[in-house]
Each structure stands twice: as C-alpha cells, then as structure tokens.
Amino acid sequence: MAIPYNKRTHRNGELRAENAGQTVRLVGWVASYRDHGGMVFIDLRDREGITQVKFNPETDPQAHALARTLRNEDCIAVEGQVALRGTNINPKLPTGEIEVEGRAVDLLSKSDPTPFEIDDFTKANEDLRLQYRFLDLRRPAIQKVLRLRHDIAKAVRDYFDAQGFLEIETPVLTKSTPEGARDYLVPSRVQPGSFFALPQSPQLFKQLFMIGGCDRYAQIVRCFRDEDLRADRQPEFTQIDVEMAFVQMEDVMEAVEGCVAGMFRVAKGIDVPRPFPRISYSESMDRFGIDRPDMRFGLELRDVTDVVRDCGFQVFSNAVQSGGVVKCLVVKTSEGADRLTRKITDGLTEELKGIGAGGMPVTKVVSGTNGLEFSTGVAKFVQPVCEPLCRQAGAGPGDFLFFGAGKYGDVCKHLHHARTRLIEILELKPSTEWNLLWVVDFPMFEWDDTEKRYFSTHHPFTAPRDEDVDRLSTEPDKVRAKAYDLVLNGTEMAGGSIRIHRRDVQQTVFKLLGISEEEAKIKFQFLMEALRFGAPPHGGIAFGLDRWVMLLAGKESLRDVIAYPKTQRAVCPLTEAPGPVSDDQLRELGIDLRPEVRARLEEKAASAQQTVHRAHDEEQ
C-alpha cells in the first residue's frame, strides 16, 4: 500500500528524544546508505535536515528488502517509529539522539548516479555544480544560505513596513539611461527598431514616487548591468531600493542604520553599535587611499611630500615638482615586518606595475651608529632625510616603508592596493569582526582627463551641499555632494544621496556634465517636467542585497548566494542562456545580425555539428 507522501508528519530536522515512540511519516532524498547485510541505515534528507532511518530484516523484511536497493538521491517516503539510539547517538546531527525504525518505504523516484556527490564535502568544481544547480541546491550548505537570504529579505521588508514605507514595483522594461553602465537591451516587436533597456536601478522612478506623493518607498528589486563580471559582481543583482520625501541626509542614514541593525540581528544575532561612525571622503582617501576604507587594520598612509621634497631622489622630486605627492605606508615589526622578504616586496612591486604604477620604492629602518638608518631598497636615495621621514611616518627600527609618488589619485590607488595585499600576505588579524561606517562629503564631480569633462561622482541627480550651490558655476571641483556610502569591511554596501528637487539646479548640473538641453529633453524629459510641479525635497539609498548576504554568510563569491548565478562570461551554465534565436524571431523584430557576427555564429554551429557527427560515427 502506498505511503501518503503528501501527509508527512515531520521534517527531517525536527525529531528529538521526546518524540520517541511516535509513529511518523517522512519524505526526502537518500543522502547516504549503509548496508550491513542485516541492518540497513538510510540518512534521509530534506530542506530542514537529516534523519537516520533503520531497516531491520527480522522485524520488517519487506521494507528492508526495498531499502537495500536504495541509492543516493533516490526520492522516498518512509513510515516508522521513532526510537532512542541509546549509546549510538550521533553528536553531529541535531536529530542524532533518535532514529526512525522503518516499517514501510516507498520509492517515489529513482535517481541516476549523480555527476557529483551531493554533500557538504563535495569537491566538484563550481562550473559542474552550476550546470546541475538543481542537485547543488540540495546540499545543506546551500540550503542554509538560501534560508539566510530569505530571513534577511524578510527582516528588511518587515523593518520598512513598520517604518511606514510602501513597496511599489517599478518597470523592468524601461528606457536606456545615459552614462553609467552598459544597458541590457530588449527589442520591441510592436515598435521595430526601438529598444527597451532593463533598469540599472529604478533611480528616476523612485524619485517620481516622491514627486507623486508616495512619501516613503522601499523595494527589493532586480537590476541589470551589462558589464564584465567579478566575484562580487553579477549582471543581474538585487537591490534594496529606498527613497524618502521631506528628508535630509540624517534622516536617510538613520533609517538605513535601523535596517542594517535588523539584518545583523537576524543573520548574526548581534546588535551593532549605532550610530555608525562617519569619515569624510577626503580623510578616507588621505588615510587609506580609497573611498571605502577597511579600518580594521592599521597600515595607514602617511603624506611625506614635504620631507622628501629636496632629498635628491628623482622619483620623489619629479613627483613633487609636477604637483604630485609622495606618501608611504609603514609595516611595523608588530605587524610582521620581519616576515617581509625580498621575494614578497619584489612580487608586490610587480603587481603594482600591473595596475599602472611605475614601481614601488621600498626601504627598511634599522638602528645605525648615528641613530636611525635605512638599510635596503632605495636606502641610499632617502638616507639624507631618514630622521624626519621616520618621524613623519611614525616608523622605527625594523619597520618597512613602501612609497608611492606621483599624482594624488594614482598614489592613493597604488598604495591602497599595496595595503590590501600586505594585509593578506601578513595575515593581519582584524581589530573587530564588523567595521561599519559612513563615508560622507563626496565631491560632486570628478574631472575625466581622457574625455575632458566632468562626471558625477554619484549620479547626475545628486544634490550639492547648500553652502556649495553657489560654487557650481565657479569652482565645480570644490562642490561637495549630499551623498553617503555605507561601507562594511572595505566593501561598499550601500550608496545614496539627497536628490536635486529644483529644476534650475538640475539644469545647471546637466550643463556642467556636458548634457545638452536637447539631450536632457530626450532622456529625462519626464524628470524635468516633474520638477516643474512642486517636487518635494527627497533622497534615498540603494543596498546590494546579494553582497550583504554574501558578507553575512561568510562567502567569497556572489555566486554562492544566488540560486541561479551566471559565470564570469555572463552565461548561465544551467540553461545555457543567452542563446541564439531563430531568423523568424529576428525578422519580426526588424533585426539583422551584423555579417561578422553571423559568420562567427555559423562557424561555431558547424564545429559543434562536426563533434556530434564524429560521436555518432563512433557509435556505429
């Protein structure tokens, strides 16, 4: 008689000693089988955990006979009685104090041998696991992450709901935006030759919500960017998108801190201290060389421009003369300076060259006969300024100094890279587990030397600080934005701003960015129109949900926290998307592939065909 699998009594992580004696019905997959000739043990797995089921040939010969044939990943239903394990408890399982004595078992669905082993010990490579993601998802470690992601998303929704925010959906088929990342385009059949763009973020829609009187909006929303991937970058990702009307920076930041605190509570069970510390953009750049500092480690940058100005070392004096800076970072003996070898410093220098640095001067401080001296590397060039240099850098005997010289931005970039790598190489211990902070006072604009024009540091709708508005037309470089980034352990986790709500200011900013009135009209006419009708002051923020889950789950790749992620080449190994479409589909859309693209596709199809033929021939 068939077991009613739709009427299970428990999940596989639930049963405890107090359930002993109960008759239960379980369903799930065979995670492991152990056949002793007599007794057969099955580990039954579902989303919630694992329960051991025992089949005894003497008491239940029929069930035992079937149980012997079960293999990994067979889908089964079991009926039996919960029994205490006595001295044979398994401390590794929450259900380890009990087992189910199987009275009956049904095979619901037989499994082929799987392409890799479905357990948390599996060593199968990621590509294979993504190709068979439906099997990978059965692994407890992945289930745990999916659960965490759900819990975090729920905490976020509950929080914003309690704070009076509405979740309102925004279109996925929308309009291509200028600047920013490349858009994913979707052709329109109804309007041949016209394309939708998938949103990089619902930025303008949420601003219009505020102008539309929605007051407070928060949405968990999918966003798309057709750029090259990284471990922490996917072409489609999920944002927690927030916007509030009648607010100043403080109000948004306070609201965000409450949300973040909620995420930490649900994911880690800890209460993070509030308010989060703040650091200005310029201080962060000066001290860490980056606008998203990881302050859990020392190794701060020191400016030594004035000290080395006249030391005679050309690399330094050239940098100073052309208006640049010289900075250094010190590795103290307490931070493992004694473990730095020539091989390590040379390797680091090579890496720095790889990101565009000319090199990286290095030296070491020692106690000499006449006080402090430099002993290696560029020692002889900087020896004359040894004492003041060490004083300025805060270096003492045994410490290493790594220098960067040149344009401020380049020096910051290079020394930040060096700092990050040295932290890894020296395996420095972080001072705390979670370093949450706000970076504020960003400049409104950055000058791009290649294109000879300004770009928005944040985006073109960010408001300038009130006291800087007058400088917009006179000294754009000096204008600071009402923008704020939330940084966690050196990763940007959220970024937002107060928006421009005055039409004239928005026009001025567009002008500064080289967006003509005509262009603005084509691309943002709806925004410019909206700004004519009583737009309230408003602002907001967006967090990368995937990144939050990644950090809170302790994973190193976004692929570990997304159910169906894409590989570095932006393809889905499971579905093999993106794929070609038929000529009919293209014709209907009025699209013709460029000849070189078409040729390449045909070439690829032909070689695939050849492989198939060869395999076929061998079969016969």
* C-alpha–C-alpha distance, residues 455 and 283, integer Å: 21
**Residue 379 vs 528, nearer CB to RNA:** 528
From 5-13, 168-176, 226-234, 314-322, give the range in contact with RNA by CB under 7 A: 226-234
Q: Does 227 bind RNA (CB under 7 A)?
A: yes
439 neighbors 487 (Cβ within 8 angstroms):
yes
Q: Does 62 bind RNA (CB under 7 A)?
A: no
Q: Distance from first CA to last CA of the chain, Å, rounded?
A: 45
29 neighbors 88 (Cβ within 8 angstroms):
no
Residue with tokens 């929450």: 94
From 31-39, 158-166, 314-322, 579-587, give the range in contact with RNA by CB under 7 A: 31-39
* Token reading at 260: 């973040």
Residue with tokens 């800076």: 325
From 53-61, 265-273, 300-308, 546-554, give the range in contact with RNA by CB under 7 A: 53-61
274 neighbors 287 (Cβ within 8 angstroms):
no
**Residue 127 vs 584, nearer CB to RNA:** 127
Q: Does 138 bind RNA (CB under 7 A)?
A: no
* C-alpha–C-alpha distance, residues 450 and 423, integer Å: 33
**Residue 113 vs 534, nearer CB to RNA:** 113
Q: Which of 5, 195, 434, 455 binds RNA (CB under 7 A)?
A: 455
Q: Which of 317, 383, 457, 508 binds RNA (CB under 7 A)?
A: 457
Q: Does 537 bind RNA (CB under 7 A)?
A: no
Q: Does 459 bind RNA (CB under 7 A)?
A: yes
What Cα–Cα distance (Å) separates residue 71 from each residue in 11, 188, 617? 21, 50, 34
Q: Does 317 bind RNA (CB under 7 A)?
A: no
Q: Does 96 bind RNA (CB under 7 A)?
A: yes
Q: Does 99 bind RNA (CB under 7 A)?
A: yes
Residue with tokens 């080449």: 569
What Cα–Cα distance (Å) separates residue 78 from each residue in 4, 17, 43, 85, 416? 10, 19, 11, 18, 58
Considering only residues 337-366, where is the footprint of RNA by CB under 7 A?
354-356
Convert residues 362-401 into a mask of x (bound to RNA by CB under 7 A) and - (unbound): ----------------------------------------
Q: Which of 424, 433, 449, 618 binds RNA (CB under 7 A)?
A: 618
177 neighbors 197 (Cβ within 8 angstroms):
yes
Considering only residues 411-440, where is the footprint of RNA by CB under 7 A?
413
Q: Residue 94's CB: how many other CB atoms inside 10 A?
A: 16
User: Least distance (Å) from RNA to the CB of residue 307?
Assistant: 29
Q: Does 518 bind RNA (CB under 7 A)?
A: no
Residue 593 burial by Cβ neighbours in a 10 Å radius (0-12, 13-18, 19+): middle
What is the three-state SS of 337-402?
Answer: HHHCCHHHHHHHHHHHHHCCCCCCCEEEEEEECCEEEECCCCHHHHHHHHHHHHHHHCCCCCCEEE
Considering only residues 539-598, where is the footprint of RNA by CB under 7 A?
557, 567-569, 571, 573
Q: Where are the beta strands (DSSP E) in 122-189?
A: 185-187
User: Least distance (Å) from RNA to the CB of residue 278?
Assistant: 20
Q: Which of 8, 10, 206, 225 binds RNA (CB under 7 A)?
A: 225
For 527, the enclosing helix (H) or strand (E) is helix 517-530
Interior/surface letters 312-324, b for 16+ CB within 10 angstroms, e for the rest: ebebbbebbeeeb
User: Least distance (Å) from RNA to the CB of residue 53?
Assistant: 10
For 211, the enclosing helix (H) or strand (E) is helix 203-211
User: Least distance (Å) from RNA to the CB of residue 571?
Assistant: 5
* C-alpha–C-alpha distance, residues 242 and 407, integer Å: 37
**Residue 101 vs 151, nearer CB to RNA:** 101
Q: Which of 16, 34, 339, 521 binds RNA (CB under 7 A)?
A: 34
Considering only residues 64-93, where is the footprint of RNA by CB under 7 A?
71-72, 85-86, 88-90, 92-93
User: Least distance (Å) from RNA to the CB of residue 395?
Assistant: 27
Q: Does 228 bind RNA (CB under 7 A)?
A: yes
Q: Does 32 bind RNA (CB under 7 A)?
A: yes
User: Least distance (Å) from RNA to the CB of residue 531?
Assistant: 17
- DSSP reduced 3-state for 405: strand
User: Least distance (Å) from RNA to the CB of residue 56?
Assistant: 6
